[in-house]
Amino acid sequence: MEFTVINDCGDERITNLSIELEGLSSSSEELKPLIEKSIEICDPSMFFTQFETYLGMHTQRNQYLEENNLTAQFHKKTGYCRIVFNDAKSSEPLVRVQWMIVFNKINDEFEESYQAAFTEKGQEMAQEYNFPEEIIAHGFFDNWNVIECIKNMNKLVLISNETPVKKRRN
């Protein structure tokens, strides 16, 4: 980690902040707002406190993915994590969930968020199984956190694997 602090006429300010950790960089969209705020208010201690929180959330996200055998792709530039849920029979995508850790500059804290994008087949299945319209139309449902969203998308995959049961006529 590298800071450049300039002191001109008693006005200290950070002009550069660089982070390079395995799998993380200062170009990550997840970290940019924190870096910008730290530079703006010239408060390295706030940066380190919030960065520690971010690392904890980042680690928990990775552990959850590993513990639940979820394959995720991390976008190198944004840092966002994308999980693709495929149809169990055809392996074609049903939905893609982007799991983000976002720094809220107003509250000075990190929050988890997600965005779900359904394919046409995934949308049909989600409607058939009464998923909330909000998640289908907008990719987010206020009553679900990211873990609940992922669990429900896993259920969609399990449903796609079931063989339909024919109704018997009497």
Domain count, the chain: 1
Q: What CA–CA distance (Å, rounded) separates 75 from 72?
A: 10
Tokens of 71: 């394959």
In single-letter form, the type of residue at position 164 comes to: P
Q: Assess contact for 82 and 98: CB atoms under 8 A.
A: yes
- Residue at 75 is within a domain: yes
Beta carbons within 10 angstroms of residue 41's beta carbon: 13
Strands (E), the chain: 2-8, 11-18, 20-21, 24-25, 72-74, 81-86, 93-104, 109-118
Which pLDDT does position 166 carry in this prediction? 44
Do the domain assignments include residue 103?
yes
pLDDT by residue for the chain (170 residues), tens only, comes to 555 555 554 555 655 656 655 555 555 788 888 888 887 887 778 888 998 999 899 889 989 999 999 989 887 777 789 999 998 888 899 999 999 999 998 899 999 999 999 999 999 999 999 999 999 999 999 999 999 999 999 999 888 777 554 444 54
Q: Which domain holds residue 14?
A: 2-161
Total H helices, total E strands in the chain: 5, 8
Domain for residue 93, yes or no?
Answer: yes
**Residue 144 in domain:** yes
